[in-house]
Structure 1
Amino acid sequence: MELSRLTKVNKYVYFFEACRLLQKMIDISLDGFLLTPVQKICKYPLQLAELLKYTNPQHRDFKDVEAALNAMKNVARLINERKRRLENIDKIAQWQSSIEDWEGEDVLVRSSELIYSGELTKVSHPQAKSQQRMFFLFDHQLVCCKKDLLRRDILYYKSRINMDDMEILDIEDGKDKDFSISVKNAFKLHCRNTEEVHLFCAKKPEQKQRWLKAFENERRQVQLDQETGFSITEMQKKQAMLNASKQHHTGKPKAVTRPYYDFLMRQKHPTLPTTLPQQQVFMLAEPKRKPSNFWQNISRLTPFRK
């Protein structure tokens, strides 16, 4: 921002141009010169590795070159990780746009990484009611969704849990004292502020262990982001959601569900939408027929032929 402001002031423009001519440099803008070293950061480890290869271990510069190589490897790794995370925000925005009945703030307001996802049984107070739900663990939050009864690939938003306030408790198989029910492959999320408790059960022991590991990874990711100062700008968040919204509106039409088919058949002159794929039109038009037993009956009569 400061450089852009200076390039609009004549005296600084003349100064920068005079410096360029004195040094006999190519005719590119000052921000272009500043960008060039940054663009080559990922090449520095290769150059330093080559330099270290031909440096005598007894040479006084060997340790410094080795330290520089390790430092630049870490920098390159950090850049690649940040680039991957920025690409992930588009995927997260697209995922949210596919969820029906979304409520509250966008996932990207607090999160930028999907840590783990899977199906769990959630047990709720006060009657220990159990519900099968899909859960998506992001950094800072756990999003709960419900599958559609007919279309299992359609998800409805139900709730979310703030992971920053939660404590993960591994529960042994047997009767749980808080919910007064027998549980298996269970764990709890306990809120430190409100003392609220969420009970979850996995289908298999290995699934439970994967969830417990995922919760550890989530806390580790949050701590690493704080240490490295990783963050997503408001402009990047808004642009990702805008792109996802456009893609969602111009995407492929959803498949015809049974209620919609029944509605069409009840009409006096049923018509099908022009956006419906031709294959689905044939599937609706042709009723399923039971296989004929004609040839089986013929084969049974074969021994009685003269």
Structure 2
Amino acid sequence: LLYVWSCFLCVQHVEVCFAQNEGVDSGLQSLEILQDKKGHVMTELIETEKTYVHELYSIIQGYKKEMTNPEMKHLVPHSLYGKADILFGNMEALYQFHNDVFLQDLQNCRSTPELVGTCFVQRKETFHKLYSAYCMNKPKSEALRLQCASDNAFFKECQRKLNHKLPLDAYLLKPVQRITKYQLLLKDLLKYSEGSGEQYELQEAVNTMLDVLKHVNDSMHQVSITGFHGSLADYGKLLLQGMFNVWMEKKKKERMRELRFKPSQRYIFLYEHLVLFTKKYGRDDNPSYAFKNALKTSQIGLTENFKGSRGDKRKFELWLHGRTQVFIIQAPSTECKDLWVKNIKQVLLQQFELLKDESKRQHYEKYEQLNGVKPQSPSSRVRHTISGMSWESRRVADNNNHSRSECQRASRVLGRRATFPALRSYGANGELSDHEDGWSTDDLSQSEDEDDDGDIFVNTEVNTEVGGSYVALGDYEAVDVGEASLVEGQPVQVLRVGCAGWWYVRCLGGGGREGWVPAAYLGPNGRVHHTARSSPSVSSQDSGTGGLHHAISRISMASNLSSTSLDGGM
């Protein structure tokens, strides 16, 4: 019996050891599988980057350079003369960055995927700058291309010489598609790196590229602002944007106040150095904005909370020196209001620090010139010369005393104004127009025919036969909601023509699915059989686009900027 029991224990021990070894082997196999998948994603990232660089180079050499080729000059449409920079934007700068810098970064990480996240984080500002510029120019490029017509002799000859199966407009969309693809590949790398020490760097890279997409997407809204003369890029980074109820209160010379009892609906853009009031037109997927008013952030004060009968937790005020003009702004929610107040405070404090540093610099320069006269203390100098932003934060009674004292102290320092010129705000006619119709505070919606201010908008829709039959010139993979995937040679029927190169189609065969597709990927039935195939195929990286390319491609092209300027009085 003792012998049998000993044998039983030995068998149990062997089974436990076997199970443990099996668990170790299984864990190793899982790790190997994850490493394998991670390697595949890295390969796709690098190879599609090479394809992207090659495509940029082919467009620059095969289209842009050919515009100045004497042998091709007779084919160039007259409307294209001297407009290469509009048609192609900053594509050459994109090519130089990706070919000379970023592709090399990625290739250096081929065997060390854990370092690839750093490549994206370190190049964040470059991505911001280059892709914001390209995407903001895209509607102008699209309008010019449509003006020249895609089937003109010059474009056709360039396409033939390059052996491209897709027309120029499909390749002009490549940068938009590429910038949206990065975060998808990074998310795959992050998924296959669970439990490893590289997750933090990859998550930071994902957040970086999502932030780049948001920045680029925010920048796209600026393209459709009409009536503002000047470059919005001069006013710093776009921080926030949103729809608000706005009342305006003016202080008359006779010390009487004029208050608009009905608010206006305004879409407001907050920049580092400017608050821009606009009126929004059109649908959410195709908006346009008419300029109404602008305030430099160096000239405004902030009232955070209201007291008395006007108290509303969703409201805050922006006002000019001496409260000569007050803009009462009602947010759609208290959370939205808190976010805007927080960002405006940060802007005002940052500008205060800049003004303080500038005051110190001027003070010591003057001291050196006087050579021997005892200088006034910097803090004293600041109190008399800094003409920064008046920040008055009127707190409700239940705010804590520390916060109250801090805000009051900031108000005392920031409230002095001695050296800046008189403060003014400017609207479309030099000041905010007061004749517009009011609207209800109960709803932030706006009817299409509300308040005709005479703004002109140019729609860049393509004249296409609705119901016509077309065929896909190349593969297109849908990513965004509402899109449809295409397979080369697949017939489709056009159901609706959208803005600036997007068509709503029904795919014939395969279930008859419907969705939006880029018109550049479609041609008349039979065309696909006569079109030369390009060397680089339309790879999966072409179609990894989020909602960004909709904002660019479906947005209507607004009219040329009017002569209204801030330069004279702001």
Q: Which has the higher contact order (CA 8 A, sep 6+)?
A: 2
Q: Same fold (TM over 0.5)?
A: no
Tell me the TM-score normalised to structure 1 length: 0.42
Tell me the TM-score normalised to structure 2 length: 0.25
More strand by share: 1
